[in-house]
């Protein structure tokens, strides 16, 4: 992995290449090739997480002045999630630049959402340490432009279908919904979950998703739709 290749991928020049190189070292590589745990990207990920949250919080505060504090918090959580950060990492080609152990490589680590999201945060930290907050902010906004633009068109956080289903089912005197994974298909690094939404022991909805949480949301939407379509149903 060369400094030039990294800089070309990110579109930035670095005066100190050490944090940037470390930002792409997974702990599995350290375990197999020697070194200390602090030599992986995990410390940088810790710092980068804070920088990303600050940048996204600032963008939301400036660009969505009509949102309340609670809505801003939900909006940030929706944007600063593993899926969004992994998408940004893929667009930057970070998966191809990661240093992984042989086992993690064989298990599809270069495309694993959690690893890509962590690596993105670590790279943000490297930019912050080398070039300061202003440049790091520009980098985050550019890297997450697709997600930010989509969210701004949406105008605010999506309503959580799991919360709506719980509120509606309880208003009908029904038990609190629960969720059960019924099937997982696909490779380990890119699974698809099938989840049932149960109210009592009765399955009311089924959903699929790339993560368990996405599948649960889909199942909740399906269950809510069925509850609301019953004769005489009162809409939530």
Domain shared by 109 and 201, yes or no: no
Name, in order, each residue with C-beta under 8 angstroms of 81's C-beta and a sequence gap of 6 or more.
Answer: none
Last residue within a domain, chosen from 103, 123, 154: 154
Q: Of 120 and 34, which is predicted with more confidence?
A: 120
Domain shared by 9 and 79, yes or no: yes
The yes-or-no verdict on residue 232 having pLDDT over 60 is no
> Among the options 45, 118, 121, 147, which is catalytic?
121
Domain shared by 179 and 206, yes or no: yes
Residue 235: pLDDT band with limits 50, 70, 90 = very low
Last residue within a domain, chosen from 112, 133, 154: 154
Last residue within a domain, chosen from 128, 154, 180: 154
**CATH number of the domain bearing residue 39:** 1.10.1520.10
Domain shared by 150 and 165, yes or no: no
39 is catalytic: no
How many separate domains does the chain show? 2
149 is catalytic: no
Please write the tens of the pLDDT for every residue from 52-77.
Answer: 999 999 999 999 998 889 889 888 98
Domain shared by 125 and 63, yes or no: yes
Please write the tens of the pLDDT for every residue from 83-109.
Answer: 889 999 999 999 999 999 998 988 888
Domain shared by 7 and 86, yes or no: yes
Name the percent of the chain lying above pLDDT 70. Answer: 96
pTM attached to this predicted model: 0.72
Residue 136: pLDDT band with limits 50, 70, 90 = very high
Residue 233 lies in a domain: no
Domain shared by 133 and 174, yes or no: no
Domain shared by 120 and 178, yes or no: no
Quote the domain boundaries for residue 169.
161-228
Predicted pLDDT at 3: 60
> Among the options 49, 78, 113, 196, which is catalytic?
49
Domain shared by 145 and 33, yes or no: yes
């Amino acid at each position: 992995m060369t400094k030039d290749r990294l800089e070309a991928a990110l579109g930035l020049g670095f005066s100190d290449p050490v944090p940037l190189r470390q930002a792409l070292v997974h702990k599995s590589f350290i375990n197999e090739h020697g070194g200390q745990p602090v030599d992986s990207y995990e410390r940088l990920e810790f710092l980068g997480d804070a920088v990303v949250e600050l940048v996204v919080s600032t963008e939301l505060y400036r660009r969505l002045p009509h949102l309340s504090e609670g809505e801003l918090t939900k909006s940030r959580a929706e944007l600063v999630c593993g899926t969004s950060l992994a998408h940004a990492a893929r667009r930057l080609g970070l998966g191809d630049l990661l240093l992984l152990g042989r086992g993690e490589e064989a298990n599809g680590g270069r495309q694993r959402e959690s690893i890509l999201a962590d690596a993105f945060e670590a790279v943000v930290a490297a930019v912050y340490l080398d070039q300061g907050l202003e440049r790091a902010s520009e980098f985050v906004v550019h890297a997450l432009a697709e997600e930010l633009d989509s969210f701004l068109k949406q105008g605010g956080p999506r309503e959580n279908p799991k919360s709506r289903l719980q509120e509606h089912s309880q208003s009908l005197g029904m038990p609190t919904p629960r969720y059960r994974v019924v099937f997982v298909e696909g490779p380990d690094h890119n699974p698809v979950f099938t989840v049932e939404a149960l109210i009592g022991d009765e399955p009311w909805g089924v959903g699929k998703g790339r993560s368990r949480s996405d599948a649960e949301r889909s199942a909740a939407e399906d269950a809510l739709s069925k509850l609301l379509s019953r004769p005489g149903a009162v809409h939530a």
